[in-house]
Every structure is written in C-alpha cells, then in structure tokens.
Amino acid sequence: MITGDIVLKNILITGGAGYVGNRLVPKLLSSGYYVTVYDILYFGKETLPLSHPNLHVIQGDIRDIALFEKSVKGIDIVLHLACISNDPSFELDENLSKTVNYDCFEPLVVASKAAGVKRFVYCSSSSVYGVSDAPQVTEETPLVPLTLYNKYKGLCEPLLFKHLSPDFVCVVIRPATICGYSPRMRLDLSVNILTNHGVNKDCITVFGGSQKRPNLHIEDMCDLYAMLLIAPSEKIQGEIFNVGYQNFTILEIAHMVKKVIAEEYPEKLPLGINITESNDNRSYHISSEKIKRILGFVAKRSVEDAVRDLCYAFKAKKLPDSFSNAWYYNVRQLQVRETV
C-alpha cells in the first residue's frame, strides 16, 4: 500500500465484478484498501461483498469516458481488467468488441493520468504469442496473434507506454490461462472445462490435446495484482511481465484432472478421456523468469490445486446447472443479453 513516500490506497478495478475480480476484491478489502469496481455488470454484482464499507460499485461501460473521468477522481491506482474476454465472445460482434478492447483503451489511460492516478496496471494476455515453437517464450518473443482478441490485447500495450511519466507508472502483465474457483465462475477456461466434464459427465472431453498452454491459479493471479500495488516504481515502470506457473499440453492437463477427480470422487471410476478435434491452435510455453528475477514473484499453486478447489465447489453445490446455465460461459451470457 506504500510506494516510496506515497500511500496508494484507493484502487479502481475495471471489470472488477468478473471472474478474477470476485477473488481479488475481497483480498484487497481485507488488506485495507478502498476499492471501486467499475463494471458494466453483465454478470451481476451479487457475488461481490457489497456490504463492505470500503467497496464502491459503479455500473459503467468503459467506453463511457465521461463517466469514467468522474469515477477515477481521487483514485491512486487503476487495474484494467475489463474487456470482451476470449475469442468466441470477441467474435460475436467484432466491431463492437474492438470498441471495448481497443478503441477506448487510450482514452481510459489519458483520463486516468489527467485525474492524478499514480499507477496503471494493464492486464494483457499471454495469448498474444499465438503459436511458438520456442522452448521458453519470453517477453521479447515477437507477437504472432492468431485472432482479433489476441491482436488487440497486444496493440494496447504500446498505447499505455506512450503516456508513462515519473508521476504515472505503467506496467503490463501477460497472464497465463487462469484456473480455479471463483464466486463469479467461468467454466469456459481449459482447466475448468475439463474438470466440469470429469465431475459432471464422468468423461473428460479433450479438444485437440497437443497444444501447449501455460496455466495460473486464480489466487496466484490475485497475489500478483496485490504485489503490483506496492512494487517499487523503478522496478515496474514501462515493463512487460509474463506470469504463469505450469506449462502443459491440454492432454497432460486432462490426465491431472482425471487423477484429482479419482481421488475426490472414487465412485466415478473408471473415468474416461475422449479426444476430439479443436479449431483452437494456440500453443506456446511461456517463461516467467523475468517477473521472478525483478519482483521475486513465483506462483505457488498448481493445476491440481485448482482442480481440487473446483471439486470442493461442486461438492458444496456452489456450481449448480454447470452445463445449462449460461452465466458460467462468457459467450453464451453475451448471446443471452443480445436476445433480451
């Protein structure tokens, strides 16, 4: 909460009512921060700790720069998580998605700087690397995005760095695919998909299998955000950091899921793995050595930890109707909203 001689305690999180935000917001509140969630609330806000006196929720579109300018007054740090997330969601309406993920990005940065924000953290994505045969994809690896979602995630990064200054610290992170339980659950992410199939279909369906994917437990993602709030400015100014923990093929992840489910649900044995075709060819093996070297950040929780957390959530009936409820799936929820 203290950077140099300046106490930075007022945090605004765009997209803070989402999958990661629902784990991050309580964490920051418990650490004494004042948190403003700025979110369009397509998935509601009821899963947030709304009764907490230090939480303020603003229902707002990040393209509404006038509202954002009002909302960011008095804010010390902006964590920019909001976007149309994942390729299928982006492709529902590519022009609309571009306005959300790219066109409004620089105006948000400009508004934040003008309001006196001291630090801007941009959540990009490791998917910007597309396909790479390199044994370790570093931050210097050329970006070869396969989709418009990946492309615009990467194009926002230099727009942020245009505006860095001694009083406006800018940092970009490229997270691996997040996994694990959240009150605003997503069941359209690789580890979470496989676990849902294994627990509720008694068979793990693998799409492709040979693609290499980096993974990161959602709690480790939140730990990193908390670290970036207090990291010395000179260590993060103008930097890009990969962040992941374990790199596995999708088929390797499926076998890990099978192992944990067998331990948690022995009555489901034998548990099968069904391999089918996939049109998602993203494959890369990211290196997180830079963030370890500069910030000392090392993820602590494994894919198996995430699967076990999900098993506990299923057992506790926290994820009912996990295949039929559109709320767990970004693209389906956006489609539902388009028809109402």
Residue 6 pLDDT greater than 80, yes or no: no
**7, pLDDT greater than 90:** no
Which one is predicted more confidently, 277 or 117? 117
Q: Which domains does the chain have, with CATH numbers?
A: 2-339 (3.40.50.720)
pLDDT at 276 over 60: yes
Which of 219, 225, 224, 227 has its CA nearest to residue 182?
219
Give the residue from 23, 59, 52 showing the smallest Cα distance to 35.
52
**pLDDT over 80 (residue 5):** no
Question: Active site residue: 33, 38, 102, 149, which one?
Answer: 149
**Closest Cα to residue 194, out of 264, 136, 267, 251?**
251
Higher pLDDT, 131 or 80: 80
Cβ neighbours of 269 (radius 10 Å):
10
- The reply to whether the predicted model has a pTM over 0.85 is yes
**Are 37 and 61 a contacting pair, CB within 8 Å?**
no
Res 338: pLDDT: 59
Residue 88: per-residue pLDDT:
86
pLDDT at 279 over 90: no
Active site residue 149: yes
State pLDDT tens for residues 294-321: 999 999 999 999 999 999 999 999 999 9
**pLDDT confidence bin for 337, thresholds 50/70/90:** low
CA distance 259 to 117: 46
Read off the amino acid at residue 203: C
- Indicate whether 181 pLDDT > 90: yes
